């Protein structure tokens, strides 16, 4: 069933090697199996994070206590943030689709260091486990927010050590993935695949790899400093000992701002794969998209202070960070222009992945524009730490990385599973999800402008109506998510058999069977053309 | 790309470099004992940078590797310097 | 199902991977250099005075120890390339002994301070003022993290030496020896900067 004419190899799902049963998965160094391991663990953690989010919104549907105490609310938004950021959107596309498709799209049999790849998954699961353990031990779960700001993070009696150390371990997972992808791309491209013939998803994984490699160690050392502060009272961030809490913020955001480019660049890469395929047209401005990916990764290192405009930084720092923040918007705009230009006069095949791509463009633009409003010093003074910020980052991170993830999920589902998903349920789920998403987060812009703070358990009555809308949106969105995911799960059993190339894609993954055999290619291909060679 | 496989650095080269590194170390110690004000640290750091370039280029073989490696090392160093500079932009102007 | 069949060994990939890992170490310590820069700028006098309490002699000795150890491990690669297994093992052994000597010196240095109740979190240190707290906090954290990396490096070198002994690493296949050398040189490089910043800012 998994073999195609001329192909004698079993698929990667059926391959029988040294180990049996579950061990053939958790001890496998096959990049495709590791991708599936990541997929299952990531979706499980996403389910936990999403449920926390839903419960928070139910709490916020009315002022005062609704279903939980204030302390629980603080613990919930902390865990929600840690899981969503460190366990879902940062690993996100690279760990799942990068692992599965990078070697295939460049014509390789695996990544450069398959054992390190498996190790990165072990670090991932260990890190998240430590974070989850922090909920149930010590004197209560962490309540600092995922940002662990000093001095509260070393003064709180909440159980910070496992959570902070868990985040540290997750950093190793990210670094190893980035390192592996960088070497893979440098050394293992198929004969004839020059840099400028490489598809755009691998290009974004390349740019992202540098960010994973060079930014993550900074948060690593910063988290170690928090641990030193809590255990040794070392004094780096403690004002009573001479430390500056603001330095913590500098160090934290020096990583966490580039981290958002880890989240979004592969997402943009996936969108750059989906759009040409369903437009049956080569991508507009390939070189500009490559250049803008590198530019975003580069400029993104120098703008972290825009998270700190109201913190007490010097005027010079304020102006510098604001200016550089505006500059980083330019390469993103270049990409949006190129994607839309690709669609211009194209013969579009209206399929689920394309709908997700269009949804991405819509919400990413809203998220991006709201970012400019926040990047502007004067308006930020009013909007900082309000729900406007919460809306901004959910539009751009959930909207950006999330929509791209779901788009990629549906785009590559036939290749990964060998089945077709049910497109009516997929599209229905998408519409419900989208309606809920826009209501939930769109309303937050208005709540924020009116002055509702973020991370507050309670609020003034003037915000009540807006919160009702927003929380109802959450329930609708959650329901939409359930439809989408259940459809993908049920299609595993009930879906039609997928051909090698259901969409008419031109990149290398569509030339091998669905699902792929363990070694990907019977023979390493020789590449003679660019990646989106339509007509 | 495998040209360094044929390239063997003679033992003597390493010993000469070591002698130079020790000389530079002793120089920086001596110079910093003389009080030169704010220039002291700058000189010490410049000497440290010179020592590093020997370690990088000879001991770590960068001189004989593909230029890509040297460029990456320089890039990382510049990145670190940029981040330190921008952070100090805050502190110097408060 | 274990490893995918690799049809040829790619030494350049292995070396590239090691260099990329070294970059992460540079950024890791880099974060501490950021902290050092800020607090040195804010407490120039205290840092200057506290630095005088460190022993320039031991610091210089340790610097030279590491420089020699870098030389010996670099020379061990030449030895392997020239098929001189005995010399390679001798040089690797010397590297390890020098590394241990560094750690022993550090142990005594730290011991002196701890005897005077100068260590992170001590009330004696806190009473001396903010600048001293930060200087010694950075001193213990940075040299401690560095010492941890020396220990890791020594373990790595011992494992590699075993492979040399067993001829798994030889004149045809020595990229792992090169990689262990790269790691050790990085440890040396970090100390080349730690030394002036803590001992020579007098």
Check if the beta carbon of residue A283 is closer than 8 Å to that of residue A200.
yes
**pLDDT at residue C1 is higher than 60:** no
Please tell me which residue of chain C has the smallest CA distance to A112: C13
ipTM of the complex: 0.94
In a domain, residue A13? The reply is no
Burial of residue B30 (number of CB atoms within 10 Å: 0-12, 13-18, 19+): exposed
Mean pLDDT of chain B: 90
Local structure of residue A282 (DSSP, 8 states): P
Paired tokens of C93: 């052994």
Closest-CA distance of chain C to residue A235, Å: 7
Angle between the N-to-C axes of helices C56-81 and C175-199, in degrees from 0 to 180, rounded to the nearest 10: 170
The whole-number average pLDDT for the span B55-65 is: 95
A519 touches chain C (CB under 8 A): yes
Average pLDDT along chain A, 535 residues, taken 10 residues at a time: 55 87 93 97 97 97 96 96 97 98 97 97 98 92 95 92 96 98 97 96 98 97 96 95 96 97 97 97 96 96 96 93 95 96 96 98 96 96 97 97 98 97 98 98 98 96 97 97 97 96 96 94 93 86
* Number of domains making up chain C: 1
Positive or negative, the CA dihedral A437, A438, A443, A444 is positive
* Number of domains making up chain A: 1
Check if the beta carbon of residue A101 is closer than 8 Å to that of residue A34.
no
**CB-nearest partner of A179 from C5, C21, C141:** C21
Distance CA A126, CA A291 (A): 36
- Write down the residue that tokens 């989850």 correspond to: A132
Distances (CA, A) of C92 to A12, B57, C87, C89: 43, 21, 9, 5
Residues of chain B whose C-beta is under 8 A from some C-beta in A? Answer: 76, 79, 82-83, 86-87, 89-94
Distances (CA, A) of A67 to A63, A72, A174, A209: 11, 10, 36, 42
Q: At C133, which CATH number?
A: 1.20.120.80
In a domain, residue C33? The reply is no
A313 touches chain B (CB under 8 A): yes
In a domain, residue C11? The reply is no
Tens of pLDDT, residue by residue over C68-115, are 999 999 999 999 999 999 999 999 999 999 999 999 999 999 999 999
Nearest CA among A416, A397, A281, A295 for reference residue A345: A281
- Write down the residue that tokens 């580039």 correspond to: A258
In a domain, residue C36? The reply is no
**CB-nearest partner of A320 from B89, B91, B94:** B89
Tally Cβ neighbours within 10 Å of residue B12. 10
**pLDDT at residue B6 is higher than 80:** no
Tally Cβ neighbours within 10 Å of residue A55. 18
Q: Do A317 and B76 touch (CB under 8 A)?
A: no
Tens of pLDDT, residue by residue over A200-256, are 999 999 999 999 999 999 999 999 999 999 999 999 999 999 999 999 999 999 999
Q: According to the model, what pLDDT value does residue B38 have?
A: 73
In a domain, residue A525? The reply is no
Tens of pLDDT, residue by residue over B28-47, are 999 888 866 778 888 999 99
- pTM value is 0.95
Check if the beta carbon of residue A145 is closer than 8 Å to that of residue A455.
yes
Residues in a beta bridge with A517: A11
**pLDDT at residue B72 is higher than 90:** yes
Q: According to the model, what pLDDT value does residue C7 have?
A: 57
State the residue range of the domain holding A164: 23-511
Distance CA A378, CA A381 (A): 6
Q: Do C24 and A179 touch (CB under 8 A)?
A: yes
Q: According to the model, what pLDDT value does residue C2 have?
A: 40
In a domain, residue C32? The reply is no
- For residue C75, list chain B residues with Cβ-Cβ distance below 8 A: 11, 14
**A524 SS3 class:** coil
Q: According to the model, what pLDDT value does residue B36 have?
A: 67
Distance CA B36, CA B45 (A): 14
Distance CA A358, CA A352 (A): 10
Q: According to the model, what pLDDT value does residue B33 have?
A: 83
Distance CA A161, CA A325 (A): 33
Find which of B66, B68, B86 to mutate to test the A interface (most A CBs within 10 Å of its CB). Answer: B86
Closest-CA distance of chain B to residue A288, Å: 22
Q: According to the model, what pLDDT value does residue C189 have?
A: 97
A28: left (phi over 0), alpha (psi -120 to 50) or beta: beta
Q: According to the model, what pLDDT value does residue C127 have?
A: 93
What percent of chain A has a predicted confidence (pLDDT) above 90? 95
In a domain, residue A530? The reply is no
- For residue C24, list chain A residues with Cβ-Cβ distance below 8 A: 175, 179, 213-214, 216-217
Q: At A283, which CATH number?
A: 1.20.210.10
Confidence of residue B2 (pLDDT cuts 50, 70, 90): very low
- For residue C193, list chain B residues with Cβ-Cβ distance below 8 A: 45, 48, 52
Alpha helix ranges (H) inside A384-463: 387-393, 403-417, 423-450
In a domain, residue C2? The reply is no
Under 8 Å CB pairs connecting chains B and C tally to 111
Distances (CA, A) of A493 to A32, A418, A486, A489, C196: 20, 11, 11, 8, 66
Entry field: residues in chain A: 535
Find which of B14, B58, B65, B87 to mutate to test the C interface (most C CBs within 10 Å of its CB). Answer: B14
**pLDDT at residue C5 is higher than 60:** no
Q: Do A251 and C35 touch (CB under 8 A)?
A: yes
State the residue range of the domain holding C76: 21-27+44-199
Give, for B28, the enclosing helix (H) or strand (E).
helix B11-33
In a domain, residue C88? The reply is yes
**CB-nearest partner of B86 from A218, A246, A302:** A302
Q: According to the model, what pLDDT value does residue A1 have?
A: 38
Q: Do B90 and A214 touch (CB under 8 A)?
A: no
Paired tokens of B70: 């040297």
**A61 SS3 class:** coil
A242 touches chain C (CB under 8 A): yes
Distances (CA, A) of A298 to A195, A214, A324: 19, 11, 11
Q: According to the model, what pLDDT value does residue A193 have?
A: 96
Tens of pLDDT, residue by residue over A107-133, are 999 999 999 999 999 999 999 999 999
Paired tokens of C145: 């993290």
């Amino acid at each position: 069933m998994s073999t195609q004419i001329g192909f004698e190899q079993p698929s990667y799902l059926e391959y029988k090697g040294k180990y049996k049963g579950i061990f053939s998965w958790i001890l496998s160094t096959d990049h495709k199996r590791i991708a599936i391991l990541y997929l299952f663990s990531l979706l499980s953690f996403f389910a936990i994070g999403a449920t926390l989010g839903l419960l928070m919104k139910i709490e916020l549907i009315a002022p005062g206590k609704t279903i939980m105490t204030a302390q629980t609310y603080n613990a919930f938004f902390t865990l929600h943030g840690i899981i969503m950021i460190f366990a879902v959107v940062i690993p996100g596309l690279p760990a799942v689709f990068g692992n599965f498709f990078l070697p295939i799209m460049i014509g390789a049999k695996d990544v450069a260091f398959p054992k390190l790849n498996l190790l990165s998954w072990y670090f991932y699961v260990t890190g998240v486990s430590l974070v989850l353990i922090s909920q149930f031990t010590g004197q209560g779960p962490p309540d600092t927010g995922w940002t662990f700001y000093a001095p509260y993070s070393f003064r709180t009696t909440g159980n910070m050590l496992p959570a902070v150390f868990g985040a540290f371990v997750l950093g190793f997972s990210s670094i190893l993935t980035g390192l592996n992808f960088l070497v893979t791309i440098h050394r293992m491209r198929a004969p004839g695949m020059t840099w400028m013939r490489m598809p755009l998803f691998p290009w974004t994984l390349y740019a992202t790899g540098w960010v994973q490699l060079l930014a993550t160690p900074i948060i690593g050392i910063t988290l170690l400093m928090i641990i030193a502060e809590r255990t040794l009272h070392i004094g780096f961030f403690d004002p009573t000992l001479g430390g500056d809490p603001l330095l913590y913020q500098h160090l934290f955001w020096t990583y966490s701002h580039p981290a958002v480019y880890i989240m979004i660049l592969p997402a943009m890469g996936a969108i750059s794969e989906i759009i040409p395929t369903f437009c049956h047209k080569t991508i507009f401005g390939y070189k500009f998209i490559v250049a803008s990916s590198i530019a975003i990764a580069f400029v993104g290192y120098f703008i972290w202070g825009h998270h700190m405009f109201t913190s007490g930084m010097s005027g010079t720092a304020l102006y510098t960070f604001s200016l550089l923040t505006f500059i980083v918007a330019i390469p993103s705009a270049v990409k949006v222009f190129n994607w839309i230009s690709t669609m211009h006069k194209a013969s579009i095949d209206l399929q689920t992945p394309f709908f997700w791509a269009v949804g991405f463009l819509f919400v990413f633009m809203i998220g991006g524009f709201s970012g400019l409003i926040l990047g502007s010093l004067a308006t930020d003074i009013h909007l900082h730490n309000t729900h406007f910020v919460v809306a901004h980052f959910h539009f751009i991170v959930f909207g950006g990385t999330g929509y791209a993830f779901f788009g990629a999920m549906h785009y590559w589902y036939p290749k990964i599973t060998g089945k077709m998903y049910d497109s009516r349920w997929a599209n229905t789920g998408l519409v419900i999800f989208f309606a809920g998403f826009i209501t939930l987060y769109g309303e937050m812009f208005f709540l924020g402008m009116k002055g509702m703070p973020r991370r507050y358990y309670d609020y003034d009555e003037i915000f009540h109506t807006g919160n009702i809308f927003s929380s109802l949106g959450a329930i609708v969105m959650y329901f939409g998510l359930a439809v989408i995911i259940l459809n993908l799960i049920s299609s595993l059993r009930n879906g039609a058999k997928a051909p090698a190339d259901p969409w008419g894609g031109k990149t290398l993954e569509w030339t091998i069977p669905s699902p792929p055999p363990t070694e990907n290619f019977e023979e390493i291909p020789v590449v003679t053309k660019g990646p989106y060679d339509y007509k | 790309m495998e040209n360094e496989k044929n390239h063997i650095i003679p033992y003597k080269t390493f010993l000469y470099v070591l002698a130079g590194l020790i000389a530079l170390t002793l120089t920086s110690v001596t110079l910093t004992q003389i009080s030169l004000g704010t220039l002291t640290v700058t000189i010490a750091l410049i000497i440290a940078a010179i020592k590093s370039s020997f370690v990088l280029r000879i001991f770590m073989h960068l001189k004989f590797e593909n230029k890509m490696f040297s460029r990456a090392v320089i890039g990382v160093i510049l990145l670190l310097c940029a981040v330190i500079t921008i952070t100090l932009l805050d502190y110097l102007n408060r | 199902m274990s490893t995918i069949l690799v049809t040829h060994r790619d030494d350049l990939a292995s070396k590239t991977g090691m260099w990329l890992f070294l970059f992460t170490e540079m950024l890791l310590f880099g974060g501490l250099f950021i902290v050092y820069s800020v607090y040195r700028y804010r407490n120039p006098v205290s840092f200057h005075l506290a630095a005088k309490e460190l022993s320039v002699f031991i610091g210089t000795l340790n610097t030279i120890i590491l420089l020699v150890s870098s030389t010996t491990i670099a020379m061990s690669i030449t030895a392997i390339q020239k098929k001189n297994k005995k010399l390679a093992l001798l040089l690797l052994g010397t590297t390890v002994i020098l590394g241990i000597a560094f750690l022993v010196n550090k142990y005594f240095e730290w011991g002196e301070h701890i005897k005077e109740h100068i260590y992170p979190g001590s009330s004696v240190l806190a009473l001396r003022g903010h600048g001293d707290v930060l200087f010694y906090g950075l001193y213990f954290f940075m040299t401690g993290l560095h010492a941890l990396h020396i220990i890791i490096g020594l373990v790595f070198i011992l494992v590699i030496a075993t492979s040399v002994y067993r001829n798994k690493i030889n004149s045809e296949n020595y990229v792992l020896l090169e990689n262990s050398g790269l790691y050790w040189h990085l440890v040396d490089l970090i100390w080349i900067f730690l030394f002036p910043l803590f001992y020579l800012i007098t």
